[in-house]
Amino acid sequence: MKIDKIFINKNVQSCKETEILISKIKIDPEIVPDFREVIDYVNLSKDPVLKGKKTLYITYNQGALIKECPGTSYYTCCDYIILYQASFCPMDCSYCILQAYFHPPVLQYFVEQEKSLLGQKTISKQLNNIFKQNKIYRIGTGEFTDSLIWEKLNNKPFFSVKNIVKKFAKQNNSILELKTKTVNIESLENIDHNNKTIISWSLNTQKIIKSEERFTASLIQRLKAAQKCESWGYKLGFHFDPVVIYENSEKEYKKVIKLIFKYVKKENIVWISIGSFRFMPDLKSIIKERFPQSKIIYGEFIKGLDNKMRYFKPLRIALYKEIVLCIKKYAPNIMIYFCMEDQEVWEKSLGFFPSKKGELGVMLDNSAVKHCGLFRQAQ
């Protein structure tokens, strides 16, 4: 992180977590009554998105601490649960939906989540209630931010990776998934994780990483980090999202798949997800302005049922089929699933469709049970 400016909500300026964060960055903060001054500061910049990546707002979460993934009813959803610790990201991927999702996008870190704010139960109490349920839960912190980018800053608050991994290690019906494009894995070593945490990497071809994923780890760096986490006993996940269609992309994705199984063992991979590049129409102008050299928005796109622009379906299916066949060549029984795709894509690419409501979630739950030793609580 390269923070140039820190704002602190006046309601959390004296809390211990805030002091820890400020001590790490060593920039004199500005105390503000609410988010409006932060918005004004960022929006005055020629590039508000880039400004937001260098501006940290320390505040409390005014929304839900734990929420369902904001999928869409038009495409098959996996019933993921989000643990909301922070928002936005200092890495700079051209395709990142957060550039258009937040208004404006600003690095926000939520403190005081172990206190009851706005009538909510603390994060610990909410998790404890989940851990008592007769149900399997898949919970992640990487939906609105990268799960490991905050590790240099928050080694003591509740949401440090070490603390949250230890908490999940003490229960048996939920897994924690940490998704990242970084190699910030140092704090994961020497933790008794009890096999209840999956470390996952978003992967792409090195061509796309180099051209579209600024300030992220290289493909080989990510796979070496995965290899190291595997040596520490962690199970792994990989996410090909977004898959980008370009000349020779099929061959390039196959090279990535070959490398995965060169670095890690197939039996330690819990799942691999696949999703093609898709974007809200508003994101196109942002990409054109911020990434003038990028070509990813000039493919063959049509508007999907969710009003996002998607590759023409036959193009998606053709590439998906090749990716799936290549994965199954190395790991015939591995759990592969699509992120936000419809019945036709599933059937033509994977040969089946989880048609019943919640069926995909159950499939992923079963893979977590198999690899991580989860079980439902007795009632």
Question: Which tens digit of pLDDT belongs to each residue from 36-48?
Answer: 999 999 999 999 9
Checking DSSP bridges between strand 92-93 and strand 81-83, what pairing results, if any?
unpaired
CB 66, CB 82: distance < 8 Å: yes
When mean pLDDT is compared across 103-112, 136-145, 177-186, the lowest value belongs to 103-112
- Bridge partners of 81, per DSSP, are 68, 139
- The pLDDT value recorded for residue 75 is 75
Token pair, residue 256, equals 């990535």
Pick the CATH number of 64-83+119-372 from 3.80.30.30, 3.40.50.10380, 3.20.20.100, 3.40.50.1970: 3.80.30.30
At residue 29, the 3 state secondary structure works out as: coil
- Which residue's entry shows tokens 């036959």? 314
pLDDT at 309 over 60: yes
Span 294-311, mean pLDDT? 92
Tell me how far CA of residue 61 lies from CA of 9, 10, 69, 84, 189, in angstroms: 11, 13, 17, 8, 29
Which positions ≥6 away from 370 have C-beta within 8 Å? none
pLDDT at 177 over 80: yes
- The pLDDT value recorded for residue 38 is 95
What confidence category does residue 224 fall into, taking pLDDT thresholds of 50, 70 and 90?
very high
When mean pLDDT is compared across 72-86, 222-236, 259-273, 340-354, the lowest value belongs to 72-86
What confidence category does residue 118 fall into, taking pLDDT thresholds of 50, 70 and 90?
low
Span 28-40, mean pLDDT? 94
Residue 137 CA, chain-centre distance (Å), reads 16
Alpha helices in 198-330 (DSSP H): 206-212, 219-231, 249-263, 281-290, 313-330
- The pLDDT value recorded for residue 357 is 82
What confidence category does residue 155 fall into, taking pLDDT thresholds of 50, 70 and 90?
low
Which positions ≥6 away from 310 have C-beta within 8 Å? 276, 278, 301, 302, 303, 304, 316
Q: What is the pTM assigned to this prediction?
A: 0.94
Work out the angle at residue 274's Cα, subtended by the Cα atoms of residues 236 and 238, and round it to the nearest 5 degrees.
15
Span 150-156, mean pLDDT? 73
Rounded CA-CA distance 123/57 in Å is 20
Query: Average model confidence (pLDDT) for the chain?
Result: 92
Biggest CA–CA distance in the chain, Å, is: 57
Please state the domain extents for the chain: 64-83+119-372
- The pLDDT value recorded for residue 104 is 76
- The pLDDT value recorded for residue 71 is 67
What confidence category does residue 133 fall into, taking pLDDT thresholds of 50, 70 and 90?
very high
Span 112-130, mean pLDDT? 79
